[in-house]
Amino acid sequence: MADLPIPIYTSLDDIYDGYTALAQAERWNALLDHYHAVFGQKPTHVARAPGRVNLIGEHIDYALFGVLPSAISRDILIALGPSAAPGGQVVAENQDERYEKQAFAASRVGEGEWALEIDRSELRWESYVKAGYYGVLTHHLRAAQPKSINMLVTGSVPAGSGLSSSAAMVVASTLSFLVMNDVLHGVTKGELVGLAMENEKRVGVNSGGMDQAASVICTPSSALYITFHPALSSSPVSIPGTHPSAVLVITNSLVVSDKALSAKVNYNLRVVETLVAARVLARALGVRVGDREKVTLREVVGRWAGEEQGADMGPERLQRALEQLLGEADRILGAGHGRDGLSHAEMVAASGLEEAAFHELYLSWVEVEATRFRLWARAKHVLSESLRVLQFRRVCLAHSSSPAQSTSTGTSTSTEPQPHGEGLLKELGRLMNESQESCSGLFDCSCAELDALTRLAREAGAYGSRLTGAGWGGCAVSLVAEPDVPAFIEKIHTSFGPYQKLSKKQLEEVVFATKPSSGAGVYVVG
Ligand code: NG1
Ligand code: MG
């Protein structure tokens, strides 16, 4: 799927399902009219990139384990057209009045090198637009003169909510600059993911590739199992139709998580903790690791289980290896007071590196702040969560009417008995609940509101409920029987404190059922 070209659309029916397309038409027309009013001409294209919900597999993409997200119909749209201004001038307007109009141009500073300032000291909306531009300049416009462009942005993915508005923004912006500079042709979905990942790192979060891959590669009607080791690969996974069938309901905790600003005490700190945990484990297990190698937990499992270099041992073997490694992690990282966390000096000693070498490898490229480093708890979460992803996928595949056409991972051949009918949904829900418990207790990436919301969701009848995305606020996702959705929403409305003062209309913005939807593409305005 990653080697397919970027879709070019001429009808909204190709993007949204029939019912949603009708409702979306109004929003799209308003965007086109607004563009005309601002820039005095019709746009030529609209770049679109969706947000995503992650069903299961949190904070494991940067350890290179597989995740299971699905694109949602909420998206970022950028209306585009050429401008007559000289010198590659970009004018970016946003329909949301909170975000001011911006104008900027990149300057060439050397052969294939460009300067384009991105302010990382505060969260600015245009940083995401510039981040998308930068990669296009350096990889695709090495010698060419960039075009002058007028753009108008609108979005329905709430910011800071774990639905990946940032990745949607970067993907849409990357696509915008590719298409307007006539270099989109021949770019594959996989290449766009790589470019968007590299681009998003410029805004300051050392993220894995889940969000960009989900926004670009997802297709309607199924979630996507995305793996990153040894290379990006993906295959569809559907929640099988049972009686009753189930849908995903998203509930926003209304706690905004400004991850890019607090990364040093949450997201980036977790990236460092999981990387150091991988080295400590490898060392104790006698797994080979280069002195300057930032080995990931996925690579440690692979080497420990004898996976050939550059190969993927497949889900069955990985599952067995993970089950065994979890015991080893308890023994190695959980010994002594390991479960409470290590001081900086203890962590350096456990790594087997000299202080200077440790600093260079793990701390010189990122700012983190902590007194205790909870290597055991972080590794335990990552390994058990990765196992839950494999279990979740296996349950879905065993009952899926259309078997996955995996490009490299193969379908399950497990002969273990699998649950049926509603039992199956209960099993998926159980895995989601365990994921929430692990995110909250071991990875410390939940918050009081998300703990309450997921508990209330279960009490309101969900099979399972968990935070989705990075956490520390943002949304939860719940698996709910389709006929029960209205009653479920009603119960959450009355039981979750922060929702009680919301009107029905406001509630629709923060609680909504979602279906898997299509990935990013470019619409040609007729
Ligand atoms: P959100 O919450 O959508 O920003 C982040 C990371 C993902 C992944 C999840 C946790 C970015 C762009 N994305 O998602 O790569 O690590 O957290 O599973 O930072
Ligand atoms: Mg994000």
What pLDDT, on the 0 to 100 scale, is given for residue 407?
39
Residue type, 463: Y
Name the nearest CA neighbour of 278 among 301, 248, 244.
301
Whole-angstrom distance, CA of residue 266 vs CA of residue 74: 26
User: Given ligand 1 and candidates 161, 259, 432, which is best to mutate, with the most ligand atoms within 8 Å of its CB?
Assistant: 259
Name the nearest CA neighbour of 516 among 4, 74, 8.
74
Residue 61 CA: distances (Å) to CA of 46, 144, 297, 322, 381: 30, 35, 10, 16, 13
Q: DSSP alpha helices (H): ranges in 181-296? A: 189-201, 210-217, 259-262, 267-285
- 81 φ, ψ to 5°? -160, 160
Which atom in ligand 1 lies closest to the alpha carbon of residue 205?
Answer: 19
Whole-angstrom distance, CA of residue 434 vs CA of residue 421: 21
User: Given ligand 1 and candidates 52, 55, 56, 61, which is best to mutate, with the most ligand atoms within 8 Å of its CB?
Assistant: 61
Q: Which residue has a Cα nearest atom 6 of ligand 1?
A: 207
Q: Which residues are catalytic?
A: 211
Each of the 526 residues of the chain gets a pLDDT tens digit; together they read 889 999 999 999 999 987 788 889 999 999 999 999 999 999 999 999 999 999 999 999 999 999 999 999 999 999 999 999 999 999 999 999 999 999 999 999 988 889 998 887 777 899 999 999 999 999 999 888 999 999 999 999 988 888 999 999 999 999 999 999 999 999 999 999 999 999 888 887 778 899 999 999 999 888 999 999 999 999 999 987 777 789 999 999 999 987 777 889 999 999 999 999 999 999 999 999 999 999 999 999 999 999 999 999 999 999 999 999 999 999 999 999 999 999 999 999 999 999 999 999 999 999 999 999 999 999 999 999 999 999 999 999 987 754 443 433 334 444 566 677 788 999 999 999 999 999 999 999 999 999 999 999 999 999 999 999 999 999 999 999 999 999 999 999 999 999 999 998 999 999 999 888 899 999 999 8
Q: Where are the beta strands (DSSP E) in 84-160?
A: 90-94, 102-104, 107-110, 113-115, 149-155
Ligand nearest to the CA of 59: 1
pTM, two decimal places? 0.93
**Contacts with 3 (C-beta within 8 Å, 6 or more apart), sequence order:** 188, 189, 190
Q: Does domain 8-240+517-524 have CATH number 3.30.230.10?
A: yes
| Residue 137 Rama label (left phi>0; alpha psi -120 to 50; beta) | alpha
Query: What is the C-alpha R_g of the chain?
Result: 23
What pLDDT, on the 0 to 100 scale, is given for residue 417?
63
Ligand 1 centroid, distance to 176 Cα (angstroms): 22
Pairing verdict, β 223-227 and 475-481: unpaired
Whole-angstrom distance, CA of residue 163 vs CA of residue 384: 23
User: Given ligand 1 and candidates 207, 366, 435, 442, which is best to mutate, with the most ligand atoms within 8 Å of its CB?
Assistant: 207
Helix (H/G/I), strand (E/B), else coil: 72: strand
Residue with tokens 């949304």: 475
Q: Which residue has a Cα nearest atom 19 of ligand 1?
A: 207
Ligand nearest to the CA of 386: 1
Helix (H/G/I), strand (E/B), else coil: 237: strand
What pLDDT, on the 0 to 100 scale, is given for residue 63?
98
Q: Which residues of 312-348 are buried (b: 16+ CB within 10 A; e: fewer)?
A: bbebeebbebbeebbebbeebbbeeebeebbeeebbb
**Contacts with 77 (C-beta within 8 Å, 6 or more apart), sequence order:** 28, 31, 46, 47, 48, 153, 154, 155, 172
Q: Which residue has a Cα nearest atom 5 of ligand 1?
A: 470
Residue type, 466: R
Residue 358 CA: distances (Å) to CA of 169, 268, 364, 375: 35, 16, 9, 15
Q: Which strand (E) or helix (H) includes residue 125?
A: helix 125-140
Cβ neighbours of 148 (radius 10 Å): 17
User: Given ligand 1 and candidates 210, 253, 296, which is best to mutate, with the most ligand atoms within 8 Å of its CB?
Assistant: 210
Name the nearest CA neighbour of 456 among 474, 480, 431.
480
Ligand 1 centroid, distance to 62 Cα (angstroms): 9
Ligand nearest to the CA of 266: 1
Which atom in ligand 1 lies closest to the alpha carbon of residue 200?
Answer: 12
Which atom in ligand 1 lies closest to the alpha carbon of residue 51?
Answer: 3
Pocket of ligand 1 (CB under 6 A): 58-59, 61-62, 162, 164, 166-167, 200, 205, 207-208, 210-211, 259, 469-470
Q: Does domain 267-411+418-444 have CATH number 3.40.50.2000?
A: no
Whole-angstrom distance, CA of residue 8 vs CA of residue 187: 12
Ligand 2 centroid, distance to 396 Cα (angstroms): 27
What pLDDT, on the 0 to 100 scale, is given for residue 412?
43
Ligand 2 centroid, distance to 158 Cα (angstroms): 11
Residue 211 CA: distances (Å) to CA of 83, 231, 334: 31, 16, 31
Residue with tokens 């966390």: 341
- 76 φ, ψ to 5°? -105, 130
10 Å CB burial of residue 494 (0-12, 13-18, 19+) is exposed
Pairing verdict, β 521-524 and 8-9: parallel
Whole-angstrom distance, CA of residue 387 vs CA of residue 326: 10
Name the segment(s) of the chain with CATH classification 3.30.230.10.
Answer: 8-240+517-524
Q: Which residue has a Cα nearest atom 3 of ligand 1?
A: 164
Ligand 1 centroid, distance to 510 Cα (angstroms): 20
Ligand 2 centroid, distance to 212 Cα (angstroms): 10
Ligand nearest to the CA of 474: 1
Name the segment(s) of the chain with CATH classification 1.20.1440.340.
Answer: 267-411+418-444
Whole-angstrom distance, CA of residue 375 vs CA of residue 381: 10
Ligand 1 centroid, distance to 310 Cα (angstroms): 25
* C-beta of residue 282 within 8 angstroms of C-beta of residue 350: no
